[in-house]
Structure formats: structure tokens, C-alpha cells
Structure 1
């Protein structure tokens, strides 16, 4: 790391760690416990609705539709009724319960000051339980992200916190719910970093990690500590061809992710053209779900049992094809209707089905190995979160020895998705609401440059005892360097006494002779030569400045920095990105002469 970069990181750490971080971390601990309870409550509620609707019994165990034969009218009608209930809840309760949770959480962070209404925390899990329990092909994780986020946000709203601190507690609650649902603490933290925080700073990372740790420990008492989809890894031995085939799974998974994402938003466009209120759209999406359920009943519901079969190599070809086709279609089309439900569990199932199907053609590694690769690939392609896809798969299965092929598959899918689509299934929805969203992390150029590197070392100054008259104004007007300066430091016997402008000097010269010190405004902010440009940018924004004097250790003016100087860092960053040059000479062809007239090595001169 260069000296500039090292200073930059140290400055960032000093800026973001302190007593406030420890205080927010303490507040995040009970949010973790509440998130785990919310996850348990949502899973039990989904189980209750599923049992009541499809099995006519009072039970909260998480089951899937399709385990027994259901009447056709139930398979077709239950999702329609569930969609109608969700539409009514959205219209007369809160429109924020529509969708799959993560875009809504992102929008609350970006535009809502990380404030979530309490009724969303209540209505979101109920609507999701109704939607999933009546056959909706969705997951519980999206609603629990929104519910856990609402818990963190509501606590933050009771406290005297900044918007960034509210964001930290909101994301902490969301990640806690995710960790408790899937027993995946590291994946939950990565999901928070890759999708929700929009920063990698100790001030947010530490509270989120602490909250997730509490949620995972609580999950152990509530739901157990075993992996959700355990995969036996005895006999796992990977070869180079296996890694190459993992890239093939990744590319096909990326193509499937692109197709599913495209289908979701074409469906959303289609629903938007319907000549009646959006309240009815989830019911139409329910009809699509019911029609798919008549073809493949196992595609209905959250489908954890099907995912388990896919990842352990026990799924039949008919189930694999049915899930791959029917689940993809009904999930994409119904999600576009604006119903309530998450995307991760369906993506797990679709990806697992793709990998299991390809595994019938590829060499045997261990049962479910190619299903795991497909899962990681489709998560990386749909969510545009390749690291989350890898870690999720590992934590769900505990197949730690499969790390490298999972990384290959997820990265290949991510690359193809980024190449073919501008936005993911999450960020497209945000963009359609008029928000610009970037998830690319890089070093801020303003943080790697110092004031002394860009400042004007010889600024034009005015003596404090100098009379302001036409002579002074003419001197400054005809001085090229002076015309470029937005302000002039006014220097007294012991340092700067203020700043003035040519306009102020002209006005005072016209009204009567005064001293330059009387025509100066106080210095609102002074910077030091070794301050970063980012620090200067914050000062300018805070005080509404366009320039500031640079003071040395003795308090004397050693330079002036202005807004255009900040652009030097951006220009340097742009040059590094786009300027291409050869730094080493190209090898000379045999027999070619160099500029000094010598022949290349290995040839003879005549």
C-alpha cells in the first residue's frame, strides 16, 4: 500500500470508529435477538397458513404443498385467494408490503432516512405468510429482511440518532433475520455489505456483525444449529476438469439468471398496462401460480424440502425439469404482479435444479455437488452478489471443501449477468422508481490526495493594513493569477485575519477608503497541508465555501485551495482508468535493428 493510501485508510478509520460505534453496537444486540424471534415467528406463521389451506389442520410445522394430492380447485384457487388478500392489505394497509423486501429496504435507506413505519413490521410478515402459505413460490427471507429492518429502524427512531446510525440498525435487523432464517451468519453480513450498507466502514460493519452473532446464537436455541441443507462430503475429490465444468455451470446459471430477471420486469411492465387498480394484480399472479401448480405441485410454496432433495442428489429427472421450467415461470411472472415474498429460496431451488440437471451429464463428484454449483451461480447472477452466493451455499450445506468450484461458478454467472444486464433484479426496481444506485466499491480519489499536492502555493494575498482603493482594485484586476482566485487571504501581523473577494473590494473602494481588514470576512475554515481532499470537501459542504486558506504549523498562510483543485484528484482517477501506455518495450523481431544500429540478440551482423 502506498503512503497516500495508507494515510487514507488510517484517516477513514479514525473518522468512523469511536464511542458512537460502540453505542450503536450495544443497541444492535437486542435487535439481533428480536430479529431471530421475528424469523421464527414468520416461519411458524407460514407453516400455519400452509397447513390450514392445503392440509386442513392446525399445525405450525413448515411443510410444502404438493406432498399429497390436492383437489385441482384448491391448487388453482388458493393462490388467487392469497393474492387477493395481499392486494387488499397493500391497498388499505401499506403499499410498502408489495414486492420481495430487499428493494423496499434499499429504498428506505436511500430516500427515507432509514425510517420504516411500524405497520410495515406487522403487515409485511402477515402478507408474506398469506402469499407463501397459499402456494406462492417465494421465500421467507425477503419479508424477514424487511421485518427485521423495521425492528431496527423503529428502535432507532426512538433514539436520538443520525440517518447513518438509523441505517446501521435497520441493516443490522435485516441481516439478523436473514442469519436466523438460514443459520448463515457470514452470508448475512456479506449480504448487508453487498446490498444494503453502501459502505464498508467499521462504524456500520461492527454493529451489523454483532447483531448477526446474537441472532445466530438465538437461532441455535430456537431452531437448532444444524445446516439447513446438510450435504455429506465424504469422498469429495476435485480435479481440474471439475473446476472447468463449474465455470460451465456458472455461465449457464448466469444465462438463466438473465432470463429470469428479464421475465420479472417484462411481467411487471405487462401488469402496469392493465386497465384496473394494482390491488388486483396479485390475484392474477395467483392464477399464474395455480396454473403452474397443476403442472408441478412441488413448485408451490417455499420449497425447502425440494431444495434439500436437489442438493443431496435425491431429486428425480421429472422433478428437476418441473422445477426448472415451472418454478422459474411462475416465480418470475407472479413476482412482477407485486405480491409479497422473497427471492432467495426460489433462486436456491431454480439454481439447484439447473445444477442437478447438468450433473446428470457431468462426471459424478458427490451427490448434489453440481446442484450446489448451480445454486451459487444463479444467486451470483440474479442478486449480483457473487461472494454472498458462495458463502450462502457453504453455510447452507457445510460442504466447505467445495469452495473453489463454487467461487468459479458464482463469479462466472456474475460476470455474464453484469455483461448482459445493466441492473439486477433488485436494482432495476430501484432504478424504475427514479433512483440512481451503484454497488461498485472503490477508493475515493479525494481520500488519496492531500492538500499540499493540489493547493496554490503562491496565492495572491492582501495586507490587512492596506487601504482599499482604486489602485488596489486595478492591480488585482490586471493580475492574471489574482483573477483566477475566488478569494484573497487578508494577512495581518500574526496570520490571516479573514478572506475577501474582488467584488467586496470594489464595493468598499467605491463607498469610501477602508483597510483591507475591514473588507474581509472571518475565516470559517482553515485546512492544513496534510489534510485529505475528502476532509476539505466536507468542510466546504458544511460551511458553504468555495475556497479556504492553507495554514502551516506556525499559523501562516502557505497556500490556498479552491473547489477546482478538488477536481485534480478526479482527473487523476480518470487518467488511471482510461489512459493506456506501454511501459516495457515490445520484444524486437529477430534481425531487427535498434535505434543505435545494433541488431537484435541472437542474430549476426554482416
Structure 2
């Protein structure tokens, strides 16, 4: 046994003697130190890429705080043909590295962290943080429209997972250290230690729930990481809003209306973001490692005319806060940023969605505030305030993180003056968007998470039968000989996500989902050649009428689905209804609060 191995074994033995909570606190300090160093490394590498590649070749750079309005014309309309080349090369190199070394490092890393928590017991391969640092620096540093949150979340969580694996910790403790690592990295790089400490436990779920056991370790890690990071980088806010204020109760109505605007724009953002991936990039018939280069070309085409959509765009957010941009320009940039981000990350490029969301929310707020000030100055008194409120309010809705988004927006601007309108806009946006989220790996709630399957309300669920939690209702049954073209039309007009396939006698022979249809949607000349039977999944897993809800959940977890057909024991081929995790969650909460 080598010296390092003996040291690891001894450290693991000593740690095992401590109570779990103290052990996690102590380890969170170590995770925070490494996450802070990782944030420094990533920030340094990204800064070097931006200076030596994007700025050197294209001549484009973001404006600095305090730049006079007249000087913005020297920053904005940079017309460089290098925009057609640099993002393509960055996407190509990033795609090759990710595909060959660590495919899980593609896309926005927060979703990968969420999936590791729920589905993999917190396990993240050791190579992922290093691949993510390099791939994200290449993507963003060559002009890609992406943010730092996703990369640093995956970097920090990867270090947390590695710590847990080295010390042979159990799955619960490993998952908590994964969250602590993500909180540490995000808290450092965004100068928002409290917001990040709440973001990591909150972003796991779409309902207003937290992974409460991880809050204190996340706080410890975030404080430590922030302290490490600020030893090198001067402590201070990312944005300087200047004098911002609002008047009660006069401006509450405009802020409530702005919350509706944030929800509408957020809905478009999520639909375009995943629509570009599912309907364009995934069906694209080229090698997967080349797709980020195609996304880079599309991004470069937009950036040639509007370079403000490149990189994070925080310099332009500052200009909006200072009131130095026209409302029409800000509105246009908000929607161009949606397209640019969809091209960069939807194609498989490596980066986060928080940075673009900050930009979009700020530009929406600026457009709404300054237009509103022109139209109704007695209602919209402080237009610059809407820029700052848009930063937190927009992300609260699309990320399903209303609490942490409010706090992060305040910390990033070192101002709590607009706390009340931030709360109003964030709550409105969150409630209106409901289940629409940028993070598709989020679980509905703790009870729906596989991480808590064996520990959450098991006693109650083992006593409740399926027929108590659901009722017979009309189900759209698909004849197995239905042509594919007709199948697509039928499914499009239905709000369901799973459809039983039946034979001529009404017996269930298979089941199909939207994913089954999407996988072959773009095949040529298939409308009459393929029928429903060819698309459906045979050997359907069934939930029986007298099964317990615990059995139903275990069957869903075993094949990783959220919904299954329900049949009676005496007629297993005749579907009665469908039951989903949401049905079980709703029934559980109804019983527990009755």
C-alpha cells in the first residue's frame, strides 16, 4: 500500500468517527477551497481566451462601467468576418474534446449536476471537471453565447464527488458534497455566496422545495470558496446600478405586469432553446462532435451584425443599468440572445444558461422600463430599476428558483433596495411558467426524486392502493395500424405524453411516447411505410389496480419513466387509466394535509 493510499485510508477512518453533520461541514470546507481554486482557474483561462482569440481577431470587446454613451458606437457595430470563423473553430475543438473524453460535459452543466444527484448517487467521473473547464473556455472564449454558471457548477460538483469517492462516503453524503461543490463555485465566480448556497439545493426541484440537508454544507462551501476567490480578485459586485428606487404602492402594478412579460419571454426562451436542439441539431445528419461547430457558425452569423450577443454580455447589462441604451435596441438584443444561446448550447456547446438569462432579463427590463417611462412616466418612475429586477425575475421563472434568484440579483448588484419588486416579479414569473423550465433534469419534488425513493413516505405509500389515487378516465388509444402521418397529427392535438397502442380487439400491445415519435420524425418517406406498431415499445410495464403506490413508484424508477398504464389483474391487456408520479405526489400531499 502506497503512502497516498495509506493517508487516504487513515483520513477516511478518522472522518468516519465524526458525527455525519460535523463530517460534512469539515469536508465542505475542503470542497469550497478546491471549488474556489477551480473558479479562479476557469476565470483566468476564459479571460485569456477572450483577449487572445475573440478580441484579437474580431476587435470586439464589451464596454466598461462608466463608458460615455457616445463611445458605445465604437463597441457595438464591429463588423468582422472573423465572426464566421472563430466561433466555428471554438465549437469544433470543444466538440471533439467533449465527445472523445467526457460526453457528459456537453451542454449546460447544471443539468448534468442535477442528473448526477437524482439518478447517479452523486457520482461524477474525475475527468469531467477538467474537460468542462477546457471545453467551456473554448466555447465562451471564442464568442459562444453561454454563461459561467453551468461550467462552474459541474466543476465544483465534480470536485465534491471526487472528495466523497476518495473517502468512501455513502451516497447521501456524496450527493450533499456535490451540491456543496456547485454552490462554492457559483458563489465565488458570481460574487453571490448566499444566493449560490441556496441555488444549489433549490434548483433540483420544480416545486418550491429545497434539499434542506445540504443548505448548511452549501453555505460553508460557498463562504470558503468566496474567500479563496476574493484573495485574487478584488471583492465587489458584478454590476453597479447606481441610484435605483421604487415607490409604494404606485409602481407595484407595472412590476406585476413586468412579471407577466418575463413569463411570456421565458416560455419563448425555453421553447426555442429545446426546440432548436430537438428539431434541428439532433436530427442533423452529421457526426455529433461536429454539431457545436454548426452552432458556432449560426452564432457567428448573428454576432456579425450584433456582436453584443457574444460571450456573457455583462458589459451591456451595465450600460442598460446606466440608461445608455435605447429601449428598442434592448428588446431586439433580448430575443437575439435567445437565438444565440440556443445555437451555442443547443448544438452541444459547453456553457451555462444563467449568464444568458441575466442578459435577457436585464434587456427585457430595460426595454419595459424605458418604454414605460415614455408612455406613462407617472407609473414607471425609475426605469433603470426594471433592469436589475429583470435579472432576478426572469431567471426565477425559467429556472424554477424564485428564492435564490432574488438573493443572487441583490448580491450581484450589492443592492437590496429593490427587494420588494424583485419578490413580486420573481413570484409572478415563477407561478405563470408552472412546469416550464430550462433544467429538464429537475424532479417535481423530493418525493418524486429517485434519490429519496426508499426514504420518503414509504410507510404511507405502501398502504395506499393505486385505485385509491386515480380514477378511470378516457384514454386516447392508438390503433396499432395507424399510419405514422396520422399518428403525428393525433398526438399533436393531445395533451398527454404517453399513448397505449391497441390491436383490433382493444387489447394493449405496446405504448409510445413523444420521444418515440420524435426519434424518427425527420426520416424521409415514412408517412405510409411506418405504422404505430413499429414505433411503440412492446412488453409494456403495467401497474395493476390493486398495486400499492410504492410498487407503482418502484416500477417507474426501474425503467426511468414518469407515467405508466393501469390495468385490472383479471384483464391485463385492457388499459383502465394512466398513473403518473405527479398523481402520486398530489394524492400523498392531499392525504398528509387532510
Give the TM-score taking structure 2 as reference length: 0.67
Is the 1:446–1:569 contact (alpha carbons within 8 Å) kept by the matching residues of 2?
Answer: no
Match of 1:324 in 2: 334
How far apart in 2 are the matches of 1:68 and 1:51? 17
How far apart in 2 are the matches of 1:280 and 1:63? 32
**Residue among 214, 218, 221 paired with 2:231:** 221
Match of 2:437 in 1: 424
- Per the alignment, do residues 259 and 77 of structure 1 end up closer, same or farther by CA in structure 2, a change over 3 Å counting? same
Match of 2:271 in 1: 262
How far apart in 1 are the matches of 2:275 and 2:586? 38
- Per the alignment, do residues 184 and 255 of structure 1 end up closer, same or farther by CA in structure 2, a change over 3 Å counting? same
How far apart in 1 are the matches of 2:157 and 2:339? 29
TM-fit CA distance, 1:53: 1.3
- Per the alignment, do residues 319 and 117 of structure 1 end up closer, same or farther by CA in structure 2, a change over 3 Å counting? same
Secondary structure in 1 matching 2:116: helix
Matches within 5 A, 1:312-461: 312-317=322-327, 319-360=329-370, 361-362=372-373, 363=377, 364-366=380-382, 368-418=384-434, 422-427=435-440
Is the 1:47–1:62 contact (alpha carbons within 8 Å) kept by the matching residues of 2?
Answer: no
How far apart in 2 are the matches of 1:444 and 1:167? 16
Is the 1:445–1:569 contact (alpha carbons within 8 Å) kept by the matching residues of 2?
Answer: no
How far apart in 2 are the matches of 1:576 and 1:151? 38
Is the 2:357–2:395 contact (alpha carbons within 8 Å) kept by the matching residues of 1?
Answer: yes
Match of 1:513 in 2: none
**Residue among 153, 165, 169 paired with 1:161:** 169
Q: Give deviations 1:135-160, integer Å, cap 9, x for gaps.
A: 00111111000001111111111002
How far apart in 2 are the matches of 1:272 and 1:95? 15
**Residue among 78, 83, 103 paired with 1:95:** 103
Is the 1:51–1:63 contact (alpha carbons within 8 Å) kept by the matching residues of 2?
Answer: no
Give the TM-score taking structure 1 as reference length: 0.66
**What is the number of equivalent residue pairs in this alignment?**
434
More deviation in 289-298 or 70-79?
70-79
Q: Give deviations 1:124-143, integer Å, cap 9, x for gaps.
A: 01110100011001111110
Q: Note the residue ranges of structure 2 that are not aligned, 5 or more in a row.
A: 1-17, 65-71, 464-549, 551-583
- Per the alignment, do residues 246 and 146 of structure 1 end up closer, same or farther by CA in structure 2, a change over 3 Å counting? same
Is the 2:312–2:355 contact (alpha carbons within 8 Å) kept by the matching residues of 1?
Answer: yes
Higher CA-based Rg: 1
Is the 2:63–2:316 contact (alpha carbons within 8 Å) kept by the matching residues of 1?
Answer: no
Is the 2:204–2:442 contact (alpha carbons within 8 Å) kept by the matching residues of 1?
Answer: no
Q: Note the residue ranges of structure 1 that are not aligned, 5 or more in a row.
A: 1-17, 452-533, 535-567, 580-606
Secondary structure in 2 matching 1:342: coil
Match of 2:481 in 1: none
Is the 2:396–2:402 contact (alpha carbons within 8 Å) kept by the matching residues of 1?
Answer: yes
**Residue among 287, 294, 300 paired with 2:310:** 300
How far apart in 2 are the matches of 1:226 and 1:157? 35
Q: Give deviations 1:300-327, integer Å, cap 9, x for gaps.
A: 1111211222233233345413421321
Secondary structure in 2 matching 1:221: coil
- Per the alignment, do residues 365 and 215 of structure 1 end up closer, same or farther by CA in structure 2, a change over 3 Å counting? farther
Match of 2:23 in 1: 23
TM-fit CA distance, 1:72: 2.9
Matches within 5 A, 1:540-579: 573-575=589-591
Q: CA RMSD in A?
A: 3.4
Is the 2:199–2:405 contact (alpha carbons within 8 Å) kept by the matching residues of 1?
Answer: no
TM-fit CA distance, 1:359: 0.7
Is the 1:168–1:197 contact (alpha carbons within 8 Å) kept by the matching residues of 2?
Answer: no
How far apart in 1 are the matches of 2:254 and 2:233? 36
- Per the alignment, do residues 414 and 439 of structure 1 end up closer, same or farther by CA in structure 2, a change over 3 Å counting? farther
TM-fit CA distance, 1:24: 1.4
How far apart in 1 are the matches of 2:405 and 2:331? 23
- Per the alignment, do residues 79 and 182 of structure 1 end up closer, same or farther by CA in structure 2, a change over 3 Å counting? same
How far apart in 1 are the matches of 2:585 and 2:33? 44
Secondary structure in 2 matching 1:401: coil
- Per the alignment, do residues 187 and 279 of structure 1 end up closer, same or farther by CA in structure 2, a change over 3 Å counting? same
**Residue among 202, 209, 218 paired with 1:208:** 218
TM-fit CA distance, 1:401: 1.8
Match of 1:172 in 2: 180
TM-fit CA distance, 1:387: 1.2
- Per the alignment, do residues 249 and 69 of structure 1 end up closer, same or farther by CA in structure 2, a change over 3 Å counting? closer
How far apart in 2 are the matches of 1:356 and 1:576? 45
